[in-house]
Structure 1
Amino acid sequence: MTTHANRLGESLDRAYRHWRERGVLETSHKQDSTPPHLTVAISRERGAGGGSVARNLAQRLDWPLYDRELLEHIAEKSGVQEKMLSDLDESRPAWFSEILKSLGTDRPMTAAGYAALLHKLLAGLYMHGNCIVLGRGAAQILPPEHTLRVRLIAPYEHRVDRVAENFPSRQEAIKHVKQVDKDRALFVREYFHRDVNNCHDYDLTIDTARLDVVTCCELIERAMAGRIAELQRQ
């Protein structure tokens, strides 16, 4: 069984490979044959299976997945700078190194400070492209030009049924779903001044109660192909 630490380590390894392979930030002066970079930002209702879809899509594309856990680990653990960035030499992303140098393990971080840091991290990931970001307001704050913004939803009862599998009672599952949805909406509204439920902030909305994980990923991949084709025509 894969442990929590092993899963995080695997995510960091994939992220490291992503930074190294992408190298210096791409510019419009690079080869015309280079496909435009794209970031997939997935927003989801609690219990809609967003994590499963995001992980499956990351495996299919062989792209790194940046979820809340990985982003918080990157932002808060000073050891990441030593372990990951010291080997990147001149190719290391300046934005990332700069952010981590400003952090200290003994420095408290306010919610607003974390939101500002998160914004900078997401901006850097967007500039590199070829990655998936799950939650954290990425669909609302990343520029739409090179972002495919996906919203995963499902009927309330379906979401409660799914979440209830991990709770002692259905009543606790109901409370959990309501609270998480509320917290996510509040985070985006308070720090990024957007409404997570605004359908106009998304390019693609999928009801995961009607489609399985593989079909959801196939739809996202089709939308990605269309978006990339559009960028290449510009």
Structure 2
Amino acid sequence: MSATLPETVAEKIIEDKIVEWEAKKSGRSQTRPAIGAFPFIAISRDYGCLEEKLIPLFEKTFQWKVYGRNLLDHIASRDALNRSFIETLDEHHVNQLDRWVQYLISSGSVRPDEYLIKLSKLMKVIVTHENAIFVGRGAHYILADKPHGVFVKLTASFEYRANHIARLKKISQTEAEAVVRHIDRERQEFIQHHFKRDIEDASHFDIALNTQSIPAETLCQLVARVLEIKTSSTL
């Protein structure tokens, strides 16, 4: 995956989603049932775990939209877009959304800062409308109370990840090791700052997968199987 999502691409994705969800809203039953959630996948990954290959493969395999850091941050940072996403819910469900976010804060799942509240609402609106794949941004904490999702950790040894980044970016091994350490530290600090959690705590995930030893296609099959088991148990 590219490090930066072009703004024009992000805007087109968002515009299409808002139009699609508004159309669903207008045709929705007026019985106003409790707000639900579609099955989803939340992926946390150590840097250098072949994510540039694996995330597109997950998207192709499941045929679900991927919401990564760039797209989520793009929406969260623009108040008009943020409001447009939320407005695809009716007033009844918007009130439920607010109660859900307050629950996340009161339970200690997220901190009560503006960015994280926006991010939490975005993820909730997305899973209310469609299946989705979330990459990073603490989705496994924000959506932890939703039984319809699979929480995945992609990992590999430091040496393997540094070797991969050296080849991918055509830099020296020493430079690659420094890059991997830096991004690992950034991700750890993000989780610690916003969620007060240890990113290495495996109890937050349904399945941890070693991308160094498991073929990419098998990784997708394993996640699909766990998703099948979890969704069938919640019916």
Alignment TM class, shorter chain as reference: 0.7 to 0.9
Amino acid at match of 2:208: T
Residues 3-39 of structure 1: CA deviation (Å, up to 9, x unaligned): 9456545644664477458646994699xxxxx7212
Q: 1:47 to 1:18 in 2, by over 3 A?
A: farther
Aligned position for 1:158 = 160
The alpha-carbon deviation at position 123 of structure 1 amounts to 2.7
TM-score, normalised with respect to structure 1: 0.73
The alpha-carbon deviation at position 214 of structure 1 amounts to 1.8
Q: Which secondary structure state, in structure 1, belongs to the residue aligned with residue 147 of structure 2?
A: helix
Distance 2:89 2:47 in 1: 40
Contact 2:18 2:88 in 1 (8 A): no
Mark the runs of 5 or more structure 2 residues left unpaired by the alignment.
Answer: 99-111
Aligned position for 2:136 = 135
Contact 2:59 2:65 in 1 (8 A): yes
Aligned position for 2:121 = 120
Q: Tell me how many residue pairs correspond in the alignment.
A: 210
Aligned position for 2:148 = 146
Residues 63-113 of structure 1: CA deviation (Å, up to 9, x unaligned): 11100010011122356479x76x96979x858xx9xxxxxxxxxxxx943
Kindly indicate whether residue 209 of structure 2 is the aligned counterpart of residue 175 of structure 1: no
Distance 1:201 1:135 in 2: 13
Q: 1:51 to 1:11 in 2, by over 3 A?
A: farther
Residues 136-184 of structure 1: CA deviation (Å, up to 9, x unaligned): 0111221242221000001111101111121532222111111111111
Runs of 4+ in 1 over 3 A off after TM superposition: 2-30, 77-82, 87-91, 126-129
Q: Choose from 193, 204, 208 the match for 1:205.
A: 208
TM-score, normalised with respect to structure 2: 0.73
Task: Among all aligned residue pairs of Structure 1 and Structure 2, give the percentage whose two residues are the same amino acid.
Answer: 24
Mark the runs of 5 or more structure 1 residues left unpaired by the alignment.
Answer: 31-35, 99-110
Distance 1:81 1:137 in 2: 18
The alpha-carbon deviation at position 192 of structure 1 amounts to 1.1
Q: 1:215 to 1:18 in 2, by over 3 A?
A: farther
Q: Which secondary structure state, in structure 2, belongs to the residue aligned with residue 118 of structure 1?
A: helix
Matches within 5 A, 1:182-197: 182-197=185-200
Amino acid at match of 1:194: R
Amino acid at match of 1:158: Y
After TM superposition, the structure 1 stretch with the greater mean CA deviation from structure 2, 51-60 or 10-19, is: 10-19
Aligned position for 1:230 = 233
Kindly indicate whether residue 55 of structure 2 is the aligned counterpart of residue 54 of structure 1: yes
The alpha-carbon deviation at position 197 of structure 1 amounts to 1.0
After TM superposition, the structure 1 stretch with the greater mean CA deviation from structure 2, 166-175 or 11-20, is: 11-20
Contact 1:65 1:131 in 2 (8 A): yes
Aligned position for 2:102 = none
The alpha-carbon deviation at position 213 of structure 1 amounts to 2.1
Aligned position for 1:215 = 218
Aligned position for 1:102 = none
